[in-house]
């Protein structure tokens, strides 16, 4: 969540910054009003606590002087003040909870470098790589759901029979290709990122820490009996790995990666193309995440972006990089670059990675701190993350891009070591 102290000291600056997202100021005005009330009530509570402390000292002195009756009178007065203090303290806590609940729904302040805009149409395309629309041949213009069905490597019908719409089943070498992509995504980042295999089901506070709750409750799978949530991305458990902990600055940056299954209800998919692997409820992904100081964050943001880019480039896929505008920015993000691969068969640009810097927004929710070297006290870490390799859409783009005139699929060279010696799916 945003820093309440910043809102307190520079309310118009914070309101203007979040207004770049198209958000109104009503919520922040309410927080400012409640913060004033909370501090006034807290001051009243503290004043009564001081009175009780003074009375306690006087009672002790009276007892020492043998003036028991006077001491009893002051004790009774202290008890009444104690009851009042409890009532006022409860009110202060109630207002503090109201402030927190509002701030949990307020998005992050966008980076000054983030381009202004209302929606995805205003995103800035920074560059195209390996893309020449005229170079694609007729045999590459077959959608992956058709090409894969012919080869028997994707069974959408049985996936739907087992679990419902927007669930799919990979079969044979299609499943092998999934595993190959996962191991490829892990191996190429193992030089500096520590591999983690976190739980796939997490507590509510773990989802709150990243900002997925309460804002995206409709898009999440909830196991009500156990009050656990199926993770929409490994970002969720990795962000909370050091929740309520204090790290040393020497431990930063802390770089982590994880392969997990991910689950999304895709509540906003109405009217969108959901054929094949374009939009599914369950998928595999390799996630990269880092804890960092503010000074380390720009370099790490660039590093994650470079790693995600090179992963698709080395597979021979065309892609583009977008700088997301303020109106399309994720609620928790301060700056995001999207990588989209081109799928020639479905003639679509498919997002395969969002590389984001969250400043201290998530870590403040998760209470992840560090001790700066040579300084007193603690500071809140920054978090950054991005998809190292998201399987479904990369899989789809591979099938379409590497389809041969005879309908077979050539396996890109970097994946061949993970395919049991197979170089062609046919």
Q: What is the DSSP string of 249-302?
A: GGG-SEEEEEEEEEE---TT-TTS--STTSS-SEEEEEEEEEEE-TTTHHHHHH
Q: Which pLDDT score, from 0 to 100, does residue 270 have?
A: 76
Q: What is the mean pLDDT of residues 29-54?
A: 95
Q: What is the DSSP string of 320-376?
A: EEEE--TTTS-TT-SEEEEEEEEETTTTEEEEEEEEEE-TTHHHHHHT-EEE-TT-S
- Residue 50 burial (10 A CB sphere; 0-12, 13-18, 19+): exposed
65 band by pLDDT with thresholds 50, 70 and 90? confident
pLDDT higher than threshold 80 for residue 237: yes
Q: What is the mean pLDDT of residues 46-67?
A: 88
Q: What is the DSSP letter of 425?
A: E
342 band by pLDDT with thresholds 50, 70 and 90? very high
Give the C-alpha separation, 42 to 85, whole Å.
10
Give the C-alpha separation, 36 to 416, whole Å.
63
Q: Which pLDDT score, from 0 to 100, does residue 63 have?
A: 82
Q: Which fold has domain 4-103?
A: Helix Hairpins (1.10.287)
Sign of CA dihedral 407, 344, 258, 197: negative
Shortest CA distance to 181 belongs to which of 389, 30, 9? Answer: 389
pLDDT higher than threshold 90 for residue 150: yes
Helix (H) or strand (E) holding 80: helix 68-103
pLDDT higher than threshold 90 for residue 381: yes
Q: What is the DSSP letter of 136?
A: -
Q: Which pLDDT score, from 0 to 100, does residue 69 have?
A: 82
312 band by pLDDT with thresholds 50, 70 and 90? very high
Q: Which pLDDT score, from 0 to 100, does residue 272 have?
A: 85
Q: Which pLDDT score, from 0 to 100, does residue 60 have?
A: 84
Give the C-alpha separation, 354 to 393, whole Å.
13
Residue appearing with tokens 């040393």: 248
- 3-class DSSP assignment, residue 243: coil
Q: Which pLDDT score, from 0 to 100, does residue 328 have?
A: 97
For residue 413, give Cα distances in angstroms to 253, 313, 417, 419, 425.
32, 12, 8, 10, 13
- Angle subtended at Cα 259 by Cα 253 and Cα 261, rounded to the nearest 5 degrees: 135
pLDDT higher than threshold 90 for residue 393: yes
249 band by pLDDT with thresholds 50, 70 and 90? very high
Q: Report whether 318 contacts 401 (CB < 8 A).
A: yes
Mean pLDDT, rounded, of the chain: 96
71 band by pLDDT with thresholds 50, 70 and 90? confident
pTM confidence score: 0.93
Using omega within 30 degrees of 0 as the cis cutoff, is the peptide bond preceding 289 cis?
Answer: no
pLDDT higher than threshold 90 for residue 372: yes
Shortest CA distance to 255 belongs to which of 231, 287, 295, 284? Answer: 287
* 166-175: pLDDT as tens digits: 999 999 999 9
Beta strands in 89-231 (DSSP E): 124-129, 154-155, 169-170, 194-196, 201-202, 221-223, 228-230
Q: What is the mean pLDDT of residues 244-250?
A: 98
Q: Which pLDDT score, from 0 to 100, does residue 72 have?
A: 85
Q: Delimit the domains of the chain by residue range.
A: 4-103, 120-425
Beta strands in 54-132 (DSSP E): 124-129
Shortest CA distance to 381 belongs to which of 309, 282, 323, 295? Answer: 295
Give the C-alpha separation, 125 to 338, whole Å.
9
Q: Report whether 328 contacts 117 (CB < 8 A).
A: yes
Q: Which pLDDT score, from 0 to 100, does residue 7 have?
A: 97
pLDDT higher than threshold 90 for residue 271: no
Assign domain 120-425 to its CATH architecture. Answer: 2-Layer Sandwich (3.30)
């Amino acid at each position: 969540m945003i820093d309440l102290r910043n809102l307190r000291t520079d309310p118009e600056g914070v309101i203007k910054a979040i207004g770049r997202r198209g958000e109104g100021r009503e919520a922040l005005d309410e927080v400012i009003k409640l913060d004033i009330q909370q501090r006034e009530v807290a001051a009243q509570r503290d004043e009564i606590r001081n009175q009780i402390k003074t009375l306690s000292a006087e009672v002790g002195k009276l007892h020492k002087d043998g003036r028991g009756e006077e001491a009893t009178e002051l004790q009774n007065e202290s008890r009444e003040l104690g009851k009042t203090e409890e009532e006022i303290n409860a009110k202060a806590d109630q207002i503090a909870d109201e402030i927190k609940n509002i701030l949990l729904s307020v998005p992050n302040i966008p980076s000054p470098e983030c381009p202004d805009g209302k929606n995805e149409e205003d995103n800035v395309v920074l560059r195209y790589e390996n893309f020449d629309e005229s170079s694609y041949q007729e045999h590459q213009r077959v959608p992956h759901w058709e090409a894969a069905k012919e080869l028997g490597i994707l069974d959408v019908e049985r996936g739907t029979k087992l679990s419902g719409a927007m669930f799919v089943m990979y079969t044979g070498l299609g499943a092998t290709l999934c595993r190959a992509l996962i191991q490829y995504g892990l191996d190429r980042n193992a030089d500096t990122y520590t591999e983690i295999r976190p739980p796939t089901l997490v507590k509510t506070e773990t989802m709150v820490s990243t900002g997925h709750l309460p804002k995206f409750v409709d898009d999440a799978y909830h196991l009500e009996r156990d009050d656990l949530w199926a993770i929409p991305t490994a970002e969720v458990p990795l962000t909370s790995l050091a929740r309520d902990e204090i790290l040393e600055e020497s431990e930063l940056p802390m770089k982590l990666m994880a392969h997990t299954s991910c689950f999304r209800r895709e509540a906003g998919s109405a009217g969108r193309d959901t054929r094949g692997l374009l939009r599914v409820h369950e998928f595999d992904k390799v996630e990269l995440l880092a804890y960092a100081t503010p000074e380390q964050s720009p370099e790490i943001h660039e590093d994650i972006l470079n790693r995600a880019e090179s992963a698709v480039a080395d597979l021979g896929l065309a892609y583009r990089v977008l700088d997301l505008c303020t109106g399309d920015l994720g609620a928790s993000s301060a700056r995001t670059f999207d990588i989209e691969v081109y799928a020639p068969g479905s003639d679509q640009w498919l997002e395969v990675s969002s590389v984001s810097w969250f400043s201290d927004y998530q870590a403040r929710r998760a209470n992840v701190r560090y001790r700066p070297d040579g300084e007193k006290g603690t500071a809140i870490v920054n978090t950054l993350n991005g998809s190292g390799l998201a399987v479904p859409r990369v899989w789809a783009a591979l099938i379409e891009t590497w389809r041969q005139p005879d309908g077979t699929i050539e396996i890109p060279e970097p994946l061949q070591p993970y395919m049991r010696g197979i170089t062609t799916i046919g």
